[in-house]
Structure 1
Amino acid sequence: MSVDVVLIGRNEGDRLVKSLASVMPQARRVVYVDSGSTDNSVAHAESVGATVVALDMSVPFTAARARNVGFAALMEAPEPPEFVQFLDGDCIMAAGWLDAGEARLRENSELGLLTGLQAELNRNITVFNQMSDVEWKRPAGEIDACGGNMMVRVLAFQAVDGFDPTVIAAEDDEFCTRLRKAGWRLIRIERDMCLHDGGHLRFEQWWKRAERTGHGFAQVGHMHPEYFVRERRRGWIYGLLLPFIAVFGAVSSPAVPVLVLGVYALSFFKTMRGLQGIGLPADEARRHSIFLTLSKFPNLIGMIRFHWRRLSHAQMRIIEYK
């Protein structure tokens, strides 16, 4: 085996304990990058044999920067790896995943990255966890991008200079986009990779996460204009344009706000039908559609926040939701 693991986390508590327990028996070497935890994350990682790297917190931390630092630490080893598995500290790796992933990467030198099947650990405790689980359910095959849990060929990672540390959300999409533009292929294989313990329990967490998602849409879309086009358009239309029309159109006719509500209702029912089409029960699809329709507002806030930061040359700081 020539796969090492970069595990990143911040105050993950018991989630990190479970994550390390799943990773340590499989990996040749594990680097845990800690982003200023105040719990016992560092002590536990050291106790199970992981190499711990503390991220410099004098600079605003991002997942991208943490992954880059972990990768650099692995490259300093006497026998650096050929492949690196990146894993978030709230994820439990499936048994046999590293061997399966390495085998596929060795089969084809054009593959720069692969990922596997992911699911939510406690899917049904909240509607927000259910929505995350649906996000993870993607078909196997050639892909444009994936989440941060991925196995990457070292040569490919080095060819694009790793993750962009200034990207605070959707940094994985941005990294994958540069890999594709550099000529590397990306795939998802039909193999369990990990369980995600997101712990999305409250509305406020969901709202902040949706804000961060919107920031990612805007930032990555600004860097790669062909990417997140539909997502950005929906944010501006449903989050800003339609409310503007409803408020100012009401001056001329009370029918205008009613028509705008009809547009939102149409979007809601279209989303619900789509979710039922992929197998979600009617009640679950209805609940998800409510929040997906509502998500355009926090998405818009995140998009505006990015552009304000960009135009004012302010620092890009992560939007925390845990």
Structure 2
Amino acid sequence: MIGFGDKTSIGVITIGRNEGVRLLKCLDSLNASDAPFMRIIYVDSGSTDGSVIAALDMHVQVVLLDTAQPFTAARARNAGLAALRDGTAPDLVQFVDGDCVLDPGWIDTADAFLAEHPDVAVVCGRRREMHPEASVYNRLCDAEWNTPVGEARSCGGDALMRWSALEAVGGYDPTLIAGEEPEMCLRMRRAGWKIWRIDAEMTLHDAAMMRFGQFWQRMRRGGHAAAEGAAIYGRDAERHGIAARRRALVWGLLLPLMLLLGAIPFGPWVLWGFMIYPAQIVRLALRDGGTQGAWERAMLMTVGKFAEAQGVAAYHWRRWQGRTGGLIEYK
């Protein structure tokens, strides 16, 4: 190892639900790694496709979530942390979603970075979509994950983290059904830790997002995460989730509602106001260079605001009813 050397202990937590072949590829990449993983734990959220048996056959420790409680990714990751805690705790934890393949050089690079930066709690690299050519939705994912290199506000589902930082903040909030990583990273930053994105290949992700309905569900989940984050931290200095929630509500609910209601007293000419949406697509596409990819992203992100608004509304409706939601899955 380049970083902590032989003294470094690293545990791996993989989570999944009905990932099938994607999970096998994920576990293969972990078993094939030269990194000194002390334990690899797979946490399953009620799979019915044989994922549990497949993981056991690959000699991976399996944790089954209790089906009596709603599944969340945060709950699954905490269950993995609890399993690691039941023994000798590692120095570092690599989180990998079950639909991702770990790059063989990632652990060496990330470990070395953490060794040189003791104030960094979380390091993440470049997550790429495995098949961006398969659909416009996969290409959107690939572009979305190309975040700026340097200090960041949060990470995604794949990242290498310090055990001490995870313990200090109490892990993930298991009540969140989306947006659990940004929320935990916020608590880490409040505790004085830093989050960092480095210029290194980390994982390949298989979104398998081929239908508009999948894209809609994914955007709806994003709206839900923004609403929940804003409800918890929106009044604090970080204003967590406020901007995303505002954009979703303005573009996905308030503007169309105002135009439709305005047409009643003022006539159908008010509906020409809906031209603001194609104008927004043009603005976003030109801002990002006017390439084919820029036009694709501009169109999807503009349409996606309606799905995000639905997610925001659904969160507040459940909150008003005193109900909790479950996973919002797009696969």
Q: Which amino acid is the alignment partner of residue 213 of structure 1?
A: G
Whether 1:15 and 2:11 are equivalent positions in the alignment is no
Q: Once the two structures are superposed, what CA deviation does each residue of 1:76-132 show, in whole Å capped at 9, x if it has no partner? A: 12x320110111000000002122212211222211111111110001110000000
Q: Which amino acid is the alignment partner of residue 230 of structure 1?
A: A
Q: Which moved more, 1:265-274 or 1:158-167?
A: 265-274
Once the two structures are TM-superposed, the CA of residue 45 in structure 1 deviates from its matched residue by 1.0
Find 1:49's aligned residue among 53, 59, 65. Answer: 59
Once the two structures are TM-superposed, the CA of residue 154 in structure 1 deviates from its matched residue by 0.7
Q: Which moved more, 1:50-59 or 1:106-115?
A: 106-115
1:227: which partner in 2? 240
Question: Cα RMSD over matched residues?
Answer: 1.3
2:307: which partner in 1? 298
- Partner of 2:38, secondary structure, is coil
Whether 1:267 and 2:280 are equivalent positions in the alignment is yes
Q: What percent of counterpart residues are identical?
A: 41
Find 2:206's aligned residue among 197, 206, 219. Answer: 197
2:271: which partner in 1? 257
Are the aligned partners of 1:120 and 1:197 in contact in 2 as well (CA < 8 Å)? Answer: yes
1:153: which partner in 2? 162
- Partner of 1:288, secondary structure, is helix
Unaligned runs of 5+ in 1: none
Once the two structures are TM-superposed, the CA of residue 196 in structure 1 deviates from its matched residue by 0.5
Once the two structures are TM-superposed, the CA of residue 269 in structure 1 deviates from its matched residue by 1.1
Q: Which amino acid is the alignment partner of residue 284 of structure 1?
A: G
* Aligned 1:4-43 pairs, distance under 5 A: 4-26=11-33, 27-43=37-53
Are the aligned partners of 2:122 and 2:155 in contact in 1 as well (CA < 8 Å)? Answer: no
Q: Distance in 2 between matches of 1:237 and 1:273?
A: 22
1:169: which partner in 2? 178
2:329: which partner in 1? 320
* Aligned 1:75-224 pairs, distance under 5 A: 75-77=85-87, 79-224=88-233
What is the aligned length? 316
Unaligned runs of 5+ in 2: 1-7
TM-score for both structures, normalised by structure 2: 0.92
Q: Distance in 2 between matches of 1:16 and 1:103?
A: 27
2:256: which partner in 1? 243
Q: Distance in 2 between matches of 1:284 and 1:190?
A: 22
TM-score for both structures, normalised by structure 1: 0.95
Q: Once the two structures are superposed, what CA deviation does each residue of 1:277-305 show, in whole Å capped at 9, x if it has no partner? A: xxxx6233222222111111110111011
- Partner of 1:146, secondary structure, is coil
Once the two structures are TM-superposed, the CA of residue 218 in structure 1 deviates from its matched residue by 0.4
Are the aligned partners of 1:4 and 1:81 in contact in 2 as well (CA < 8 Å)? Answer: yes
Which runs of 4 or more aligned residues in structure 1 lie more than 4 Å from their structure 2 counterparts after TM superposition?
A: none
Are the aligned partners of 1:116 and 1:188 in contact in 2 as well (CA < 8 Å)? Answer: yes
Are the aligned partners of 1:55 and 1:66 in contact in 2 as well (CA < 8 Å)? Answer: yes
Q: Distance in 2 between matches of 1:208 and 1:29?
A: 34
Q: Distance in 1 between matches of 2:296 and 2:125?
A: 27
Q: Distance in 2 between matches of 1:24 and 1:114?
A: 21
Whether 1:3 and 2:3 are equivalent positions in the alignment is no
Q: Which amino acid is the alignment partner of residue 122 of structure 2?
A: L
Q: Which amino acid is the alignment partner of residue 66 of structure 2?
A: D
Once the two structures are TM-superposed, the CA of residue 266 in structure 1 deviates from its matched residue by 2.3
Once the two structures are TM-superposed, the CA of residue 265 in structure 1 deviates from its matched residue by 2.3
Q: Distance in 2 between matches of 1:91 and 1:75?
A: 24
Q: Distance in 1 between matches of 2:18 and 2:313?
A: 29
